[in-house]
A and B are shown apart, each in its own frame.
Chain A
Amino acid sequence: MDKGLQSEGKMIDVQQMIEKNKKKKSFGERIERIIPFFLLLCAAVSVLTTVGILFTLLRESIGFFSNVSLFDFYTGTSWSPWSGEYGVAPLIGGTLLITLIATLVAVPLGLMSAIFLSEYANDKVRRVIKPVLEVLAGIPTVVYGYFALTFITPMFQSFIPDLGIFNALSGGFVVGIMIIPMVASLSEDAMNSVPNALREGAYGLGATKLEVVFKVVLPAALSGIIASIVLAISRAIGETMIVTIAAGATPNLTFNPTESIQTMTAFIVQAATGDTTFGSTIYYSLYAVGMTLFIFTLVMNLIAQYISRKFREEY
């Protein structure tokens, strides 16, 4: 009797254990099935973000264009939303002026830095200078804006006496300084990936270092270099705080860099900080300008991707 009961008890124990184990296993299996689904949901967030951006820009822009005609928006040459004039040209002009100045600063300096780091500097120098140069890219843009307004503008004013406090020149110049590391770093990567055998071949033919740079390295790295420049331009187009702080808030269709201008981004900030009521035409104009800006940068990014994919030299 006793023995039988005991063994029965043990049997039950074992059965319970098996049951438990089964449950545990099915719990584990359930996790195995749920996890990929959860991860896919998370991955979908980035797609939803893009969809959300397109949705909001399009929907509110359509709201805007039911009040202001698309034609007037893109052909008008006067931007003064508070008195009902919505010609976006001055804002685009301001953005292009800033971008042009920034490019003129960043491309020569960035490229020369890249050549120096990749071809002339030894390993030790490069390992110190490159990260330090990249610090420039990590400084918050509001700090650059402060620097442009309180230091660069007064400095320029000592050369150009009739330079206003707010002007495109110092804004664009500082945006240029900010994007130097982008040009330098990405171009340097492109030059670094040119195989040494090509350089050595040129040296063997008696070329100087400079001739190797211009006739071998630069042509071989050209796609990467151009992609880096296009990406930097795209950054300059979308740059907000520097131009908001230093370049002014005067929509002004001019190519005179000493004047105060307003970029697309600066207008968005101005309208968002002002008393813009939800649903007003000015509120919608934020999105119409935002969409124009988005299209500009998107086209730039697509060009950069196309160039680096299409013209990549494989070694």
Chain B
Amino acid sequence: MLGQNEQNIKKRMEGRVAINKILMVLFGLATAVGLVFLVLLFYRVLTQGIGYLSLDYILNFPAPYPEEAGIYAGLIGSVFLMIIVAIVSVIIGVSTAIYLEEYAPKNKFTEFIRVNIQNLAGVPSIVFGLLGLTFFVYMFNFGYTLIAGGLTMALLILPVIVVAAQEAVRSVPAEIKEASYGMGASKWQTIARVILPAAIPGILTGAIIALSRAIGETAPLIIVGAATAIYTLPESLLAKYTAMPIQIYNWTGRPQEEWQYVAGAGIIVLLAVLLIMNSIAVLIRNKFQRRL
């Protein structure tokens, strides 16, 4: 027989263990909520959009009737945008990262650049849209064109690329750098022939992930004037253009129910492109992930 005191302790202990179990289930359920909404979202988009998804949908321009509408202009517009964004942001971003990691003296100015990049990453994307509107659309007089949209997006994802490239450059071991210097290579030779080749998988992965963020961005493109109804493909950097998210936004806003399905089909295409981009990023990471 247990004494009164011991019984009390046993009871309290059982209570503590029980609460632990209950809350563990609660925590698990809370985690599941996020996952459930992810599944619901995919389910909803698929069931709404699949009926309108066809080869014609992918190859048609926007049209006044839902049955004839397609995402071709948006898809090609997004691809062109991403080419501009990739060229501009990767060149500037990787250069910035190399400067910060290899050349920058440890002083106030360097620290300022670092803090500045960190803060830029927290600026709402729509504010970048206002930046693009002032400078690219009006001041540089590009108007509502492909190049204005591309440059705005490039600045938007620049901080992400810089941070990814910095990490990639930093992860190149000091030994192989020193080996290169030991063979008489100059600083730039070491960077171009040793550091960059070793860092390229990391840079590529980061760049693709940043681009996949850019391809879904809508707000800044609205501000810098991506068009909604376009019946030709952009023929130059100074042509009007549209993009997938802009098309989806436009269709979502229409009151007739059929347009919801058209928008749903557009979302499936957009998500498919995102999936492909992210898979490539994962493939690159897995293929080149080796311990240096």
Give the B-binding residues of A (Cβ under 8 A): 28, 31-32, 35-36, 38-43, 45-47, 49-50, 52-53, 56-57, 59-60, 108-109, 112-113, 115-117, 120-121, 129, 132-133, 135-136, 138-147, 149-151, 177, 180-181, 184, 208-211, 231, 234, 237-241, 244-245, 265, 268-269, 272-273, 278, 286-287, 290, 293-294, 297-298, 300-302, 305
Name A117's closest neighbour in chain B (CB-CB).
B31
Return the CB mask of B91-119 against A: 1 if under 8 Å, else 0.
11001101110011000000011001111
Name B30's closest neighbour in chain A (CB-CB).
A112
Please judge, given known A-B contacts A56-B134, A141-B216, A240-B219, whether A210 and B126 are in contact too, CB under 8 Å: no
Which residue of A32, A112, A177 contacts B26 across the interface (Cβ within 8 Å)?
A112
A268 near B223 with CB under 8 A, answer yes
Give residues 240-292 of B contacting A (CB, 8 Å): 245, 248-249, 252-253, 260, 263-264, 267, 270-271, 274, 278
Please judge, given known A-B contacts A143-B271, A147-B41, whether A238 and B125 are in contact too, CB under 8 Å: yes
Give residues 186-228 of B contacting A (CB, 8 Å): 186-188, 212-213, 215-219, 222-223, 225
Which residue of A43, A50, A208, A210 contacts B99 across the interface (Cβ within 8 Å)?
A43
Which residue of A142, A234, A301 contacts B252 across the interface (Cβ within 8 Å)?
A142
Complex Cα distance A53/B155, Å?
11
| 9 residue pairs A–B, Cβ–Cβ below 8 Å | A43-B96, A43-B104, A56-B134, A116-B27, A136-B34, A234-B122, A240-B218, A286-B130, A301-B119
A43 near B95 with CB under 8 A, answer yes
Name B245's closest neighbour in chain A (CB-CB).
A142
In the complex, chain A residues whose CB is within 8 Å of the CB of B129: 268, 272
B124 near A297 with CB under 8 A, answer yes
Shortest Cβ distance from residue A64 to the other chain B in the assembled complex, whole angstroms? 12
Number of B residues, CB within 8 Å of A: 81
**B16 within 8 Å of A by Cβ?**
yes
In the complex, chain B residues whose CB is within 8 Å of the CB of A302: 119
Complex Cα distance A287/B134, Å?
10
**B123 within 8 Å of A by Cβ?**
yes
Name A279's closest neighbour in chain B (CB-CB).
B138
In the complex, chain A residues whose CB is within 8 Å of the CB of B122: 231, 234, 297-298, 300-301
B41 near A143 with CB under 8 A, answer yes
Complex Cα distance A297/B129, Å?
16
- Best-buried of A39, A287, A293 by chain B (most CB within 10 Å): A39
In the complex, chain B residues whose CB is within 8 Å of the CB of A132: 35, 38
**B87 within 8 Å of A by Cβ?**
no
Name B138's closest neighbour in chain A (CB-CB).
A278
In the complex, chain B residues whose CB is within 8 Å of the CB of A41: 95
A143 near B20 with CB under 8 A, answer no
In the complex, chain A residues whose CB is within 8 Å of the CB of B125: 238, 240
Return the CB mask of B158-173 against A: 1 if under 8 Å, else 0.
1100100000000000
Complex Cα distance A50/B251, Å?
34
**B44 within 8 Å of A by Cβ?**
yes
In the complex, chain A residues whose CB is within 8 Å of the CB of B103: 36, 39-40
Complex Cα distance A49/B88, Å?
14
- Given contacts A117-B31, A138-B212, could you give 11 more A-B pairs where the C-beta distance is less than 8 Å? A32-B188, A45-B96, A112-B27, A139-B271, A142-B218, A142-B245, A143-B216, A238-B123, A245-B249, A265-B124, A298-B123
Which residue of B16, B34, B131, B263 contacts A184 across the interface (Cβ within 8 Å)?
B34
Complex Cα distance A45/B155, Å?
9
In the complex, chain A residues whose CB is within 8 Å of the CB of B252: 142, 145-146, 149-150, 245
Complex Cα distance A180/B187, Å?
44
- Best-buried of A32, A46, A302 by chain B (most CB within 10 Å): A46
Complex Cα distance A293/B126, Å?
10
Return the CB mask of B17-60 against A: 1 if under 8 Å, else 0.
10110011011101101110110110011001000000000000
Complex Cα distance A297/B278, Å?
29
- Best-buried of B33, B35, B99, B124 by chain A (most CB within 10 Å): B124
A140 near B23 with CB under 8 A, answer no
A140 near B260 with CB under 8 A, answer no
In the complex, chain B residues whose CB is within 8 Å of the CB of A231: 122
In the complex, chain B residues whose CB is within 8 Å of the CB of A208: 16-17, 19-20
- Best-buried of B44, B96, B125, B127 by chain A (most CB within 10 Å): B127
